[in-house]
Amino acid sequence: MEMIRELGQPGDLGWVIKAHGEMYAAEYGWDTTFEALVARIVADYAQDRDPARENAWIAEVDGERAGCVFCVDGREDDTAVLRILLVDPAARGHGVGGELVDTCVEFARKAGYQRMRLWTNDPLVAARRVYLKRGFRLTAEEPHHSFGADLIGQTYELDLR
C-alpha cells in the first residue's frame, strides 16, 4: 500500500539526501558532488521555507520511504520549481513518480504560481516520461560535465494557468 504525505517526520530530510546519493551513484555512476547538491537544496528548503509557497512530499510504500519531490519558489515571474524527484527502484512501475509530480503541480497551482520549471539530465528517461505525460515541455538543453559525468542538462516548463 502506498501513500503520499508531506515531508516533516524525523529523518525525512536525511533520507532524501542519502537516497539520492546512493541511488544516483548505483544507477548512473554519479559522484558525491550530486549528493552535495541535493544536500544544499534540502538545507535551503529546511532553513528558508515559505509554507504558503513551498512544500515537499514523501511517498511511502508499506510504511517505508520510497520517493520524494519538492516544490520551491523560483523567485521570479510567479514560477514554481519542481526539485529532486526520486522514486526508489523497488517502487518504480506503480505510478509513484506520477503521483508525486501530480501532488507537486497541484500544490503549485493552489499556491498561485503561473508556471512550473524543472531541471534534469538526459539519462533520467523514466522521469522525463512522467514530466511529458503531464504536459511539461522541453525549453532548453545544454551539455555540461557534472557529478563526474558528461551530461545534457534539460529544462522543462509547464503552464499552470
- Number of structural domains found in the chain: 1
**Is residue 151 situated within a structural domain?**
no
Residue 150: its pLDDT value, please? 96
Range of the domain at 10: 2-113
Residue 75: its pLDDT value, please? 84
**Is residue 129 situated within a structural domain?**
no
**Is residue 51 situated within a structural domain?**
yes
Q: Is 84 helix (H, G, I), strand (E, B) or coil?
A: strand
Residue 2: its pLDDT value, please? 79
Radius of gyration of the chain (CA): 15
**Is residue 125 situated within a structural domain?**
no
**Is residue 138 situated within a structural domain?**
no
pLDDT means per 10 residues, the chain with 161 residues, are 92 98 97 97 96 97 96 91 96 93 98 97 94 97 96 97 92
Residue 1: its pLDDT value, please? 66
pTM for this prediction: 0.96
Alpha-carbon separation of residue 121 from 57, 98, 144 (angstroms)? 22, 18, 10
**Is residue 59 situated within a structural domain?**
yes
**Which CATH number belongs to the domain containing residue 12 in this structure?**
3.40.630.30
